[in-house]
Amino acid sequence: MITLTKRPALAVLVGTFLAVGAACAAQSQDESSPAAVRSTPGPGGVATIPFTSVRVWFNEDTDLAQSSLALAGPDGSLSLVGVHSMGEGDLMAAVSGAVVPGDHTLTWTAVSADGVTATGDVRFTVAEAEAEPAPDELDGDAAQAPGDRD
């Protein structure tokens, strides 16, 4: 049972708790955290060789000078060059060097205009492109010259 002498302390404790909660809520509304909304390649997707670029779109514009992309594959880190934005709340870069088939991870760090930093990654697979079928491997009718048909 709470006595009358303890109620003021309880009221102060509850008031402090509510004030701190309100301050945290106001801060989280003022400072949003960048979040990835889509990417190329997409999570769990398959990209084919030649694999030449990566791109991540965010829920808000990012500070390009402070944001970054990194790519790692089965043989280690790959070089990304020319990190830029296409003006669509995105980060994009060209993949430099030989890309080998296998599992890859694109790691991003995005810094919002108000300085909030968020990181994440996108895991995907790179596969060899399927070879075009040779003309003699096509359906028999399609491979015949027009004059050869019955």
Give me the mean pLDDT over the 23-50 stretch.
Answer: 78
Q: Residue 9 gets which letter from DSSP?
A: H
In a domain, 148, yes or no: no
In a domain, 18, yes or no: no
In a domain, 30, yes or no: no
Contact 103, 73 (CB under 8 A): yes
Asked which of 29-33, 131-135, 145-149 is least confident by mean pLDDT, the reply is 145-149
pLDDT per residue as tens digits for the range 38-86: 999 999 999 999 999 999 999 999 999 999 999 999 999 999 999 999 9
Residue 15 in tokens: 């008031």
Instruction: Output the domain CATH number for residue 122.
Output: 2.60.40.1220
In a domain, 17, yes or no: no
Number of domains in the chain: 1
pLDDT confidence band for 103 (50 / 70 / 90): very high
In a domain, 31, yes or no: no
d(CA 62, CA 78): 23
- Region of 107 on the Ramachandran plot (φ > 0 left; ψ -120 to 50 alpha; else beta): beta
Task: Look at residue 132 in the predicted model and tell me its pLDDT.
Answer: 67
Q: How many CA atoms are closer than 13 Å to the CA of 63, on its beta-carbon side? A: 11
pLDDT higher than threshold 60 for residue 33: yes
Q: Chain-centre distance of CA 140, in angstroms?
A: 45
Task: Look at residue 130 in the predicted model and tell me its pLDDT.
Answer: 78
In a domain, 150, yes or no: no
pLDDT higher than threshold 50 for residue 133: yes
